[in-house]
Amino acid sequence: LNMFVEKRKPHPFMSDQQGAVESGTRRKVKRLLSFQRYCHASRLLRGLVPHTPGSLHLLDDDYLGQAAHMLSKVGTWNFDIFLFDRLTNGNSLVTLMCHLFNVYGLIHHFQLDMVKLHRFLGMVQEDYHSQNPYHNAVHAADVTQAMYCYLKEPKLAEQLSPLDVFLGLMAAAAHDVDHPGVNQPFLIKTRHHLASLYQNTSVLESHHWRSTVGMLRESGLLSHLPANMSHDMEQQLGSLILATDISRQNEFMSTFREHLDNQDLDLQHAPHRHFILQISLKCADVCNPCRVWELSRQWSERVCEEFYRQGDLERKFDLEISPLCNQQADSVPAIQIGFISYIVEPLFEEWHRFTEPSPLSQTMMGHLHKNKARWSRLRHMHTPPDTQTHPLAEEPDSEGGGGEGEDIP
C-alpha cells in the first residue's frame, strides 16, 4: 500500500503552494501534466474525467478459477473475450497482458518492475473509453489475444526475439487507446485539436501511439533501460500502431504480395520480422469476421452501433452524415459484406499464403466464408431490390473505406 501511496505524492518540481492544494485538485493537475492525460480534460463527446479505478478488483474464488481455466486455453481461436472480460470484472486487458508476459518470460528478460507494469497496463486499460460500443478495452484485449495466436504460428514462432514479442503484444494492447468513438473525417470536419496537431494525417493512430509513449514514460516501465534502447522501442511501437491506418492498406498489401510472390521474406532479418509484425497487427485488428459467428456477430453489431452514434451526432449538428453511419441507409449486413469483401478477404488471403497455410489460417478462412454467406442471406432478407450499392463496394480504395478512417473491424 505504501508503494502506491508514494506514487500519489506531488512531484518534487511542484511548488510548496501547489503541494498545499487539496488532494483532488492536485490529482487533476498531475493528470494534466502529461500528454495523454490532457485528453481526459478535452476529450470529444465527454465532459468528465473518467473515474480512477484504483487497484484491480478482487474476484471471488469461483470467478478466479474460471478465468484461470480460460487463460489455459488463451491460444485457441474460439476464445470468448466477452466472457473473459466478465470473469475478470472488466479487467480483461490487464489480466491477459500479465499472463502473456509471464508465458513469454518477458518480465524476467527485460527486468520489468511488476508495480510499474501493473501501473502502465492499468493506465492503458483505463484510457480506453468504456462508453464506446466497439473501440474499448475489450476490443484491445481481443486484438491482443488474436496477436498471441499469430505469434504462435509455426512460420513465426521460432524466429521471433523477445523484443519482437514484447512489441507485438504492447502494440496490440495499446493500438486504439483513448479512441474517441468517431473516425478521422469527423475529427477533421469538426476541427478537433488532434486533427490540427497531426495535420489531418493518421490522426487517431498517431494519437494512440503518442498516448502510449506518454504512459510508458509516466509509469517509468522502461526507465531502467538505456535511453537509446527505450527510444528505439517507442519508435517501433509507433511503426506498428501506425500500420493499423486503413488508408495505408494498399501500401501494405502491395508490399506483402510482392514479398510473397518473390519468396524473399527472411525472418532472420529484423526489418522483415518487423514488417510481418505490422501485418500480424493489421490482421488482428480486423479479424472479427474470421471468428466463430457468435463472436463475430457481436463485434459487427458493436462497430455498427458506434458508426450510427456518429451519424446521429452529425445529424444533430447539421453535418453531412459520413458513409456507413446512417442507420436508415446502412444496414449491419451491408456494412459487413463490404468490409469483408474489400478489406478482410484480400488481407487474409495473403496471410493464408504466408502461413503456407497453417491450421489456424484454414480455420479463419472457413469462418470468414461462412460469415460472409450468412451476412449475404441476412441482407437479402431485409434489403429492398432497388437499394443502392454500398459505399465500400463503390470506393474500395478510398480513405473512408475502413480502419481509423472509417474503422470497421
C-alpha span between 221 and 97 (Å, rounded): 14
**Is 135 an annotated catalytic residue?**
yes
What is the spatial distance between Cα 101 and Cα 109, in angstroms, rounded to a whole number?
10
348 sits in the region (left: phi over 0; alpha: psi -120 to 50; else beta) called alpha
DSSP class of residue 132 equals S
Q: Please, what is the angle between helix 35-42 and helix 23-32, to 10°?
A: 110
Q: In angstroms, rounded to a whole number, what is the distance separating the alpha carbons of residues 243 and 82? A: 26
- For residue 322 the three cell numbers come to 459520413
Element (H, E) at 39: helix 35-42
285 vs 246: CA distance, rounded Å: 10
Sign of the CA dihedral with 92 first, then 276, 197, and 184 last: negative
3-state secondary structure 184-225: HHHHHHCCCHHHHHCCCCCHHHHHHHHHHHHHHHHHCCCCCC
d(CA 192, CA 196): 7
Catalytic choice (129, 135, 207, 208): 135
Computed on alpha carbons and rounded to an integer, the radius of gyration of the chain in Å comes to 21
69-72 long-range contacts, Cβ below 8 Å, gap at least 24?
71/95, 71/96, 71/99
Contacts of 211 by beta carbon, 8 Å cutoff, 6+ apart: 35, 36, 39, 127, 174, 177, 178
C-alpha cell read off for 285: 485488428
Annotated binding site: 135-139, 175-176, 285, 336
- Residue 9's CB is within 10 A of a number of other CB atoms, namely 11
| Phi (first) and psi of residue 199, to 5 degrees | 55, 40
Active site residues per annotation: 135
